[in-house]
Structure 1
Amino acid sequence: MPNTFAYIMLYCWPLVMLVMFRSMPLANALCLSIIGGYLLLPGRAGMDLTLLPSLSKDSVPSMAALVMCLLLAQSDRLSEQLRGTAPGGRSAAARDAVQSVPLRGVPKGVVYGLLGLMLVFPALTVLNNSEALVYGPMVIGGMRAWDYGSVVQEVLVTLIPFVLGLWFLGTTQRHVVLLRTLVILGLGYSVLVAYEIRMSPQLNVKIYGFFPHSFAQHARGDGFRPVVFLNHGLWLAIFMATATLAACVLWRQALRARVAAAPWILAAVWLFLMLALSRSLGALVLVILVAPIVLLTPPRTQILVAAVLAGLVLVFPMLRGAGYIPTDALVQTAERIDPARAQSLAFRFYHEDMLLEHANRKPVTGWGTWSRNRVFNAETGRDISVTDGAWVIFMGQFGWVGYLARFGLLTLPIIFLALRRKDMLAPATTGLALVASAGLVDLIPNGTITPLTWLVGGALAGRYVRQERPVAASQTRGSRDPEADGAVLPAPAQVHVRQTRGLALAGPAGPHQRQPRN
């Protein structure tokens, strides 16, 4: 059980966030509060409230960030930023070197339509699962009308990071902020990872008084798989993989901006080393496959690869159910490399087949919550299923419609960004799309969907519903260090001001200056 300090950390985190939001720009505070809470807060500490969302490491940072962002949105400081003037008289558009223009019609319709579907559709799931399920001595009651309220509460809390990313992280420069936060926190976390690699995963026990999972699963050969404060070593591995890829993206962005790039590639090397020592093969393979694409290919190729990966994740249940995934060949290939890995893979495929067959009995609405999506022995009532992949969990709970709504929010913005040929995407955005796609691929074998997943997905969706265009050079004068945010601005000598009927217009330099008429 969590100790007292675990509850103090959880309930005092909003106060830490308040200091962040008062002392930092909104985007920095938002990224640091959500990702930092995910990395540092205890997992089992929390409180279940009647008729209210439960308080946990996932919900407390999200709800507090929502309140603070909404309060800042009403303040004069953020109002000035939204009007185009940053505090101190500096141009916010000049700082970002682009002008973000919200789009209407299809872009917003897709995103907000899927958000509405996630909130409304569970009502049909509840109505279609009113019957009780009997497995020998065990009975699972049917779902009632009030169960819809609990499901919607959970969905609302889950979607908060996505909505905040959609509203406040939808520009290229905010993507740079998000990537920097990932790398900086990853470097700090790597110290704790290195400690657990050497001393075994015990920080969570020493600080919070409990171990989040089975310790036996984290003893690998003659070493250990680190956990730190996350749910499992797999969760830590995919975060370290995300931070490694983010460092590679920032290296490309720094080269584009013609600023110092060496620190980012050194950070990528260090993070990759910590990932390799974490003894998680899946996350390591993802980095080995995706990092060369980030480092060596142009942005257009990056967004196309990210879209292909996202599309494959979206249709994976269809391919899996139709038998197009060569599971037997994959097991045989893994057996040549490591028999233990092959046995684990075969075990996973066996349970996926069982759960998918159960889910296909209610393919549209799913079986709902309360473990109704799991498979039980008909005589003893014992749970005989193991749910690993996020896709099979959501398929069983909410059917095809619920799965497509949830995964559509995470995948379709990436696909549509790749189809928007006229919108020139910066390396920060295309690289972030590759980071998100790598995390989505990891959702096939694992259930590693976290607030970080939704925050990155919301940032990409926000970029999809906006169109960025370069700011006129005359607007960039007086901005603070725009190249620090990855932007390259024209030199003042490239622009001069010509007077026409009392209006100052920016135009190309010419041999003389036209005088206004009297």
Structure 2
Amino acid sequence: MLIWCICPVFSSVSNGLGLYDGVSTTIAQSVTWWLPYFLGRIYLNSISAMRQLAIGVFIGGLAYVPLCLFEIRMSPQLHSIFYGAHAFGDFGQSIRYDGFRPTVFLRHGLAVGGWMMVATLVGIWLWQTGAIKKLWNIHIKWLVAALFVTFVLCKSTGAYVLLLLSVTIMFLGKLFRTALPLFLLIATMGAYLYINAATETYFTDQLVASLSGIFDADRIQSLEFRFNNEELLTDHARERPVFGWAGWGRSRAVDPQTGKDAIQDSLWIIAFGQYGALGLIAWIVSMSLPVLSLFSLRYPASLWYRRDIGTAAVLAVALTMYTFDCLLNAMINPIYILAGGGISGIVVQNRVPQKSRRRPQSSKQMPQSSKQIPQNARRTYASSGRYLPAHRRSS
């Protein structure tokens, strides 16, 4: 995380923008990333603290239920009502399937879908593990049901896929006592970034073709548009592969067909374009290493069903889903970074030392003088060779 926050200095200096530009960008990046990570590291570095965070995420999702339902019916207007402007300029992206996709007070409807997905996932696992039974004197299963229905009404296809994937990983871990599916997903993300950033091999056409039979034409067109822009941006980023192009729009590429700037939708392409391979590696390691360490060094999948360990496990899976979502989007939310800091804090805590087992003293090591033995614990030597308490001596 430290390298991810200070890499703008190297990018700015190597591009001739000066040390001042690099330091100012580092400060901004530290407030966005390092500060919540640091707070999680020092305040959420225990299982009990992660339980409180999980309950807080679930309550935060419930707080968004009436707001989402309002905007699903009335269109995204809350941000405009309270702040005088819509959160996202293109209102057309709020229209989905003959209805509206809520934005509430977040940056985009995709961010709301991701947030409701994580809250639903956490709620499901709080219910399954029995971490909490009731909330506000209401059984948690009814609250989870209300949250799930609202999540479905948010009309975010990508969030649907992430919830299905994360629930599958959690229940496979519970049933088969293995975190292998999660490890494979993290390895797949690493391979995807390596192939796209370090090589000129593009398999996005095959991926779009395989998904065309599953999702509707609008979603496939949106995915293809993202991949086409990423190819242009990646080719441009490879011109400065180590430290990137730094800021001020230097990492953007021009679409030769339209003459317009290619859109930077994904967080990974922003990191690679601005900060090069150094920034990209630092970012993916910061997001993945806490999860890998938690499940390989601390709490294996066989403990995910426990009510105490389960809350940390589900937040770690949620962090992985957020990282996976950043391969297509760039919706920064400090809650996930806070959880990552807490998971890192749990991993680095010293293990509880096992109680030392004292070897029983042999007869040769026994004190010879009765003065060395307390009055209430004096023993006398019996014919069997054992020391007997005073009250068991034979008369």
Aligned equivalents of 2:347, 2:75: Cα separation in 1: 43
1:457 to 314, 319, 340: 340
1:342 to 216, 220, 240: 220
**Unmatched 5+ residue regions in structure 1?**
1-113, 131-142, 473-499, 503-513
Report the residue type matching 1:281 in the other structure: T
Q: Per-residue deviation at 1:362?
A: 0.8
Q: Deviations over 1:437-482 (max 9, x none)?
A: 111111111102221221111111111111454999xxxxxxxxxx
Task: Call closer, same or farther: CA 1:271–1:259 in 2, change over 3 Å.
Answer: closer
Residue in 1 that maps onto 2:59: 184
8 Å contact 1:196–1:224 — kept in the other structure?
A: yes
8 Å contact 1:176–1:428 — kept in the other structure?
A: yes
Residue in 1 that maps onto 2:13: 127
Q: Per-residue deviation at 1:293?
A: 3.3
Residue in 1 that maps onto 2:239: 361
Aligned equivalents of 1:191, 1:338: Cα separation in 2: 28
2:323 to 436, 440, 443: 440
Aligned equivalents of 2:54, 2:257: Cα separation in 1: 52
Q: Per-residue deviation at 1:402?
A: 1.0
8 Å contact 2:298–2:347 — kept in the other structure?
A: no
Q: Deviations over 1:25-81 (max 9, x none)?
A: xxxxxxxxxxxxxxxxxxxxxxxxxxxxxxxxxxxxxxxxxxxxxxxxxxxxxxxxx
Q: How do 1:207-356 residues align onto structure 2 when only pairs under 5 Å count?
A: 207-213=82-88, 214-254=90-130, 263-295=139-171, 297-298=173-174, 301=177, 303-321=179-197, 322=199, 326-336=203-213, 337-356=215-234
Task: Call closer, same or farther: CA 1:422–1:174 in 2, change over 3 Å.
Answer: closer
Task: Call closer, same or farther: CA 1:301–1:435 in 2, change over 3 Å.
Answer: farther
Residue in 2 that maps onto 1:140: none
8 Å contact 2:166–2:321 — kept in the other structure?
A: yes
Aligned equivalents of 2:337, 2:349: Cα separation in 1: 18
Aligned equivalents of 1:360, 1:464: Cα separation in 2: 35
Aligned equivalents of 1:169, 1:221: Cα separation in 2: 40
Q: Deviations over 1:147-170 (max 9, x none)?
A: 012111112202100110011101
Equivalenced residue count is 349
Q: Per-residue deviation at 1:379?
A: 12
Aligned equivalents of 2:374, 2:141: Cα separation in 1: 52
2:313 to 430, 436, 446: 430
8 Å contact 1:308–1:415 — kept in the other structure?
A: no
Report the residue type matching 2:59 in the other structure: I
Task: Call closer, same or farther: CA 1:439–1:301 in 2, change over 3 Å.
Answer: farther
Aligned equivalents of 1:515, 1:383: Cα separation in 2: 96
3-state SS in 2 of match to 1:298: helix
Aligned equivalents of 2:390, 2:91: Cα separation in 1: 80
- TM-score (normalizing by structure 2): 0.80
8 Å contact 2:10–2:22 — kept in the other structure?
A: no
Q: How do 1:95-134 residues align onto structure 2 when only pairs under 5 Å count?
A: 114-115=1-2, 117-130=3-16
Task: Call closer, same or farther: CA 1:240–1:119 in 2, change over 3 Å.
Answer: closer
2:42 to 157, 167, 171: 167
Q: Deviations over 1:80-119 (max 9, x none)?
A: xxxxxxxxxxxxxxxxxxxxxxxxxxxxxxxxxx41x234
Q: Per-residue deviation at 1:421?
A: 6.0
Aligned equivalents of 2:321, 2:133: Cα separation in 1: 27
- TM-score (normalizing by structure 1): 0.62
Q: Per-residue deviation at 1:300?
A: 8.1
Q: Deviations over 1:155-191 (max 9, x none)?
A: 2202100110011101111111011001111111111
Report the residue type matching 1:341 in the other structure: R
8 Å contact 2:133–2:139 — kept in the other structure?
A: no
Q: Per-residue deviation at 1:331?
A: 1.5
Aligned equivalents of 1:266, 1:302: Cα separation in 2: 30
8 Å contact 2:120–2:147 — kept in the other structure?
A: yes
Residue in 1 that maps onto 2:30: 156
Task: Call closer, same or farther: CA 1:325–1:245 in 2, change over 3 Å.
Answer: farther
Q: Deviations over 1:265-292 (max 9, x none)?
A: 3333222211111111000111122224
Larger radius of gyration: 2
User: What fraction of aligned residue pairs are identical, expressed as a percent?
Assistant: 31
Task: Call closer, same or farther: CA 1:195–1:259 in 2, change over 3 Å.
Answer: closer
1:403 to 272, 275, 280: 280
Superposed CA RMSD: 3.0
Residue in 1 that maps onto 2:270: 393
Aligned equivalents of 1:515, 1:207: Cα separation in 2: 82
Report the residue type matching 1:376 in the other structure: V
2:70 to 160, 171, 195: 195
Q: Deviations over 1:403-429 (max 9, x none)?
A: 111221111111122221677672222
8 Å contact 1:252–1:427 — kept in the other structure?
A: no
Residue in 2 that maps onto 1:146: 20
8 Å contact 1:307–1:418 — kept in the other structure?
A: no
8 Å contact 2:245–2:274 — kept in the other structure?
A: yes
Q: How do 1:73-112 residues align onto structure 2 when only pairs under 5 Å count?
A: none
Report the residue type matching 1:187 in the other structure: L
8 Å contact 1:327–1:349 — kept in the other structure?
A: yes
**Unmatched 5+ residue regions in structure 2?**
356-372, 376-388
